[in-house]
Structure 1
Amino acid sequence: MRKKLVMFLTIAVIAGILISGCTSANSGSGKDESWEYIKNKGEFIVGLDDAFPPMGFKDENGEIVGFDIDLAREAAKILGVEVKFQPVIWENIASELSNKNVDVIWNGLSVKEERKKNMLFTDPYMEDRQMIVVAKGSSIKGKADLAGKTVGLQAGSSSEDALNADTKTKESLKEIVPYTSNDQALMDLKNGRVDAVVVDEVVGRYYISKYMDDYTILEDHFGVEDFAVGLRKGDKAFAAELNKALKQLKENGKAEEISIKWFGENVIK
């Protein structure tokens, strides 16, 4: 009797293992349950750099605020789920997604071919230029006028990459002055220590909106990038729902309202 019982239990355990293995295989068989996953959780977690105004940053009270924060909250309302915000190390955004520490990266994320290898993007919701800013009344009207001039920018930024890529303009400059932050560069521009500043548009417009009488933004720029929400590579179902929400926010005017709040104008694509 005992032998039969042991044999029965052994068979039951083996069957359980086989069933479990089949279930795991099916769950990884390519079926996209990303939207079901979010609905079952009742929330999605946004990964962000919390020091990137006005897209996402901490205010004087330590609360995370910003353009993308407001946009994500409104999208969550449409989706019928909650949203949480999780600061991440920017260099680790791909692994933060794949490890499911966060569900999206939503923080002025540029759509780049290299990133497409590791993540899925929603439809772009805005464009970002590497713009040229000069002091009000400056004789500089375009790139050609930068010849022999001193240009400031944030060291290690996309602005630096964009200027370096334009070898003709770069070689015509007298000097490139690196700064630890964009606001320092713009302050030196105001005080006449540099002739122009190349700056990420979303950061520049936010800063300049507070000091409109001091600066002029040139029509010439050093390239345009799209901003979109980044997701796990296979999360097409969730991306589709986010795209619907973003489209609705554009159509109902809420995205424009948020844009004007943070930029003083509508920058939504």
Structure 2
Amino acid sequence: MTARRRDVWQWLPRPMRRFALLCALAAMVAVGGVALRTYGGLAGADPTWERIHREGQLRVGMDASFPPFEVVDGDGRFVGFDVDLATALAERWGVGVRFVDVHFDGLYDALQADKFDLIISALPYDRTMTRDVAYSVSYYDAGELLLVPAGANTASIADLDGGVCGVELGSTAHQLVRQVVRDRGLAIEVVAAREAEELPEQLLSGALDGIVCDSLTAHDWMGRWPDLQVVGPPLTSDPYVIAARPDSPELLQQVNLALREWRTSGYLEELQARWFGGS
């Protein structure tokens, strides 16, 4: 067979020999390219995802001093919304979970130092950090909301024109409502309370027509004062996200897959009702 191939090559005209050689070289490069791409794909695999399944443990960093998202109870157990969320992720992947308590200011550095695999700690999205960490889709939005008495003929903050809106003194809501009044030319009297807890009773007594506060406060108050309700779209957006290292693409993909499924299934709403109250 070897001699026959040599004879065929010998009788080919010189231009055909050159063409055949170029075709052979092109085929070798193509095969090599495929091999390199395949190898590159393997080299780019997610070491964090592999370690989680090899060791059977997901490590989660959080600052356990922010109830109801995360706190250590009297028995030394981590409890809260984020704790349940992390536990659900681990159960979904068939692994255990270990929580690492780190001060909020040190969470990013500890993640980069491989002290844990994910930050799940009521973490706001920070666009200035996107080169250093990879963020998940949002699982909770802590933006500002408008609270009114249940059944009130109010659909948005514009409907408070000519009325009175309560806010906590010096809060984000205080600044927001003042800006809305100025920018839209609305005649809304802004009442700023030093003690935010006074506002729900003032609203229900008729002294206020609405309250603007963050989402967490709104759901807490609706749980304690069932005659309150949120109306209109959120006035601002403050999404809470999960952070991973940039070299953990598969881990982040699986996190996003779970969060999207749980958003659709209502599981995130169940967690919210469990830990924040209200609706």
1:88 corresponds to 2:102: yes
1:152 corresponds to 2:162: no
**Does the 8 A contact of 2:63 with 2:103 survive in 1?**
yes
- In structure 1, the partner of 2:200 is 190
**Does the 8 A contact of 2:143 with 2:237 survive in 1?**
yes
User: Displacement, 1:238?
Assistant: 1.6
User: Displacement, 1:220?
Assistant: 4.8
- In structure 2, the partner of 1:168 is 183
Q: 1:174 to 1:229 in 2, by over 3 A?
A: same
Separation of aligned partners in 1, 2:175 and 2:103: 20
Secondary structure of the equivalent of 1:54? coil
CA RMSD of aligned residues (A): 3.8
Q: Which of these residues, 189, 192, 207, is aligned with residue 177 of structure 1?
A: 192
Secondary structure of the equivalent of 2:68? coil
**Does the 8 A contact of 2:61 with 2:120 survive in 1?**
yes
- In structure 2, the partner of 1:77 is 91
Separation of aligned partners in 2, 1:173 and 1:58: 42
Q: How much identity, in percent, do the aligned residues show?
A: 22
Q: Which of these residues, 76, 87, 102, is aligned with residue 116 of structure 2?
A: 102
Letter in 2 for 1:242: V
Q: Could you tell which deviates more after superposition, 164-173 or 43-52?
A: 164-173
Q: Which of these residues, 242, 245, 268, is aligned with residue 232 of structure 1?
A: 245
TM-score, normalising length: structure 2: 0.64
Separation of aligned partners in 2, 1:141 and 1:53: 31
Q: Which of these residues, 32, 39, 49, is aligned with residue 35 of structure 1?
A: 49
Separation of aligned partners in 1, 2:213 and 2:259: 27
Letter in 2 for 1:168: D
Separation of aligned partners in 1, 2:120 and 2:185: 32
Secondary structure of the equivalent of 1:222? coil
- In structure 2, the partner of 1:133 is 147
**Does the 8 A contact of 1:249 with 1:255 survive in 2?**
yes
Q: Could you tell which deviates more after superposition, 87-96 or 189-198?
A: 189-198
Q: 1:45 to 1:177 in 2, by over 3 A?
A: farther
**Does the 8 A contact of 2:136 with 2:243 survive in 1?**
yes
Deviation string, structure 1 residues 6-31 (Cα, Å, up to 9, x no partner): xxxxxxxxxxxxxxxxxxxxxxx866
Letter in 2 for 1:153: E
Q: 1:249 to 1:137 in 2, by over 3 A?
A: closer
1:223 corresponds to 2:233: no
Separation of aligned partners in 1, 2:171 and 2:105: 13
User: Displacement, 1:224?
Assistant: 2.6
Separation of aligned partners in 1, 2:162 and 2:245: 44
**Does the 8 A contact of 1:79 with 1:241 survive in 2?**
no
Letter in 1 for 2:198: D
Deviation string, structure 1 residues 141-196 (Cα, Å, up to 9, x no partner): 63232667453237565x567557645269966556375xxxx51x2113429844
**Does the 8 A contact of 1:47 with 1:105 survive in 2?**
yes
Structure possessing the higher relative contact order (Cα contacts under 8 Å, 6 or more residues apart): 1
**Does the 8 A contact of 1:153 with 1:197 survive in 2?**
no
Stretches of structure 1 that go unaligned for 5 or more consecutive residues are 1-28
**Does the 8 A contact of 1:44 with 1:84 survive in 2?**
yes
1:199 corresponds to 2:209: no
Stretches of structure 2 that go unaligned for 5 or more consecutive residues are 1-42
Separation of aligned partners in 1, 2:141 and 2:86: 17
- In structure 1, the partner of 2:137 is 123
